[in-house]
Structures are given as C-alpha cells and as structure tokens.
Structure 1
C-alpha cells in the first residue's frame, strides 16, 4: 500500500478515457454472454481484443477499487473523456478555487475586503476603477493618480524606490497619507494572506 502525506496539499488524479474503458469492458461482457447464449456461433470476431479484455476486472470491481483508492490514499480521482475535457475541467476547477479565495461569502469574513470587482472599458478606466478599490479613493483622486503615474507598474516602482507616492508639482500629496500607507502595504507586501485595510 502506498502512503502519501496529504497534510499540506491535496492530490488530484485526472483519469482520461475512464468511461470509454468501462464501456469497452461492458461490451466485452455482453459479447461473451451473447456468445454463450448462441452456443459460440459469434466467436470468430475480435479474438485478440477479447483475450486482452478478459484479463480486466468487472466494471463494478473497478468502481470499488477506485473508491477504495480515494479513501485509503486520500486522493481525489476525476474521470474525463478526453484531454480537451480534462483541460476544461482543470480550467473550471482553477477558477472555482481562485474565486473561493476572494469571494467574501466563501472565505474568512474578516479578510473579505474585496467588494464588487469593477472593470473598465480601456486601460485608463481599468486603472481608475482598480485604484478606487482602496478605501477613501474617489474617482477624482484616482484620475489625479492616473495622470501622474499612468500604470500600476509605475506606482509599484515608485513605492519600491522611495516608499511613498510623494507630492505633486504644487507640493501637495498625490494621495492622502492613509491611502499612501495602504497602497504601500499593498504594492510591497510579500505576504499573500495579509489583509489590506
């Protein structure tokens, strides 16, 4: 018996062609039964395939072994028909896991600081609407920040080099100090679980 430590991760096995394989075994069993009923009149076809198929367990035994493996080894086994279906399944699974991390109804309520996620129609609108997710960032403040920096990378670079967004040409803060410290924490944090407030 194989022992897998699943303390820090979950093992997922995607089995391609499982249903087709089970259907082949069922077809073999039906041919075998029909051959017995017809007294062996239909035996000439598929002798090689039948010899190979006779070595496999029954579909019920395979299902039982599959369930036992999932329970004993603590792995999840998902049958898919083809690689394309497997890729689509993984895509959907990844999206589901990702949305669970950021869905305020699914995850820890105290960390659920993302509300409705807005998206813009172009890069400028997307930038402005993204910046408005920070507390106390109005549209006008976001537009001022967009005109002075223009991209998220520019903001990130500014925080990495000087630790603040600084002041405009008239000596005023580009963003309020509380927003500046929140954005500094957001753009420079190495902890993905850190709550940004």
Structure 2
C-alpha cells in the first residue's frame, strides 16, 4: 500500500546504501539465527534506540559544545557511503534476528533531516526490500507456516487503514513536529524492548 503511494519519492542514495548493506547483514544473521538469544539482542537494540533518541533530542544543547556554534542544530548530517552500508548491514541483521531493523533505519535517516515524504518513502522502500530479501533465507530455515500466511492476510485491511491514516497525517504535520513524533516513538520502542 505505502510503496505505491510513495513510489520513487524516496532518498535514492540512502535506499541504495541501506539495501546493499542489508544483504550482508541478512546473510550473516541467517547463519546464526538459531544460535542466538533474541532477548539480549532486543535489550541492546532498545538501549541503543533510547540513547540515540535522547542525544538527538538534546542536539541543540550539545552540538555547540563541539565547536559548531555557527551551525544550525537543524542542519542535516551527511553520512559517508561506508556509514550507510554499515547501517544497512545492522538493519538487515537486526531485522532477521529480532524484526527490529526499522530502528536502525530510523536512526540513520533522522539526522539527515529529510522531508516528511522522503523520510516515509525511504523507510517504506527499505522495509519492503528488507522483507523481500529475507524470504528465501526464512524459507530455507523453515520459518514459514500456513498459520502465518493466514494471519498476514487477515491483517491486510488494517494495514491499508493505517497507511491511509499515516498519509493523511504526513501531509498535515510540520517537519519539526514530525521528527519529534518519530523520536518519541523510537524512545518508547526502546524502553519497551529494555523492559520486555
């Protein structure tokens, strides 16, 4: 649903780097999937998400201390290619091991100060690609079942409703407020993972 609406409105450089990196992350994670505890992994991801959310929220206070007083705290960070590939690798690995790759994607995209539309389009394209790439690995590991397929089909109407609601809100919210909302949910998800 989302992919069709946001088709080619994403930040192409970020999508490319994240997807290329995710392939390696998915391959590596699929090799250790049955040997790792996702409980500890979720706590690490949760702690990282909380730390990032706090640092990003407090950026107007700590950035001037680094000697960048003349630079606006709303300035977009420009990541190097290797940083995008590394973020993609962790996103792919965490997505495969604990279905938490989205948090890494958000942490990579937020500092770039993309427009609301570009942010949502980029996350949508990345999530879709991640899940598509994981299919053969999950199939090989025998992680699919008829029950999962039935549940997925049953959720389709709700997914469509959520997408339409998201599109409507996306067009009404300012970029500054949008970033704050994303940070709030990132922090809340991190807390949930830490306490879960």
Same fold (TM over 0.5): no
Of Structure 1 and Structure 2, the greater helix share is in 2
Could you state the TM-score of these two structures normalised by the residue count of structure 2? 0.21
Select the structure with the greater relative contact order (CA < 8 A; seq sep ≥ 6): 2
Of Structure 1 and Structure 2, the greater strand share is in 1
Q: Bigger radius of gyration, 1 or 2?
A: 1
Could you state the TM-score of these two structures normalised by the residue count of structure 1? 0.21
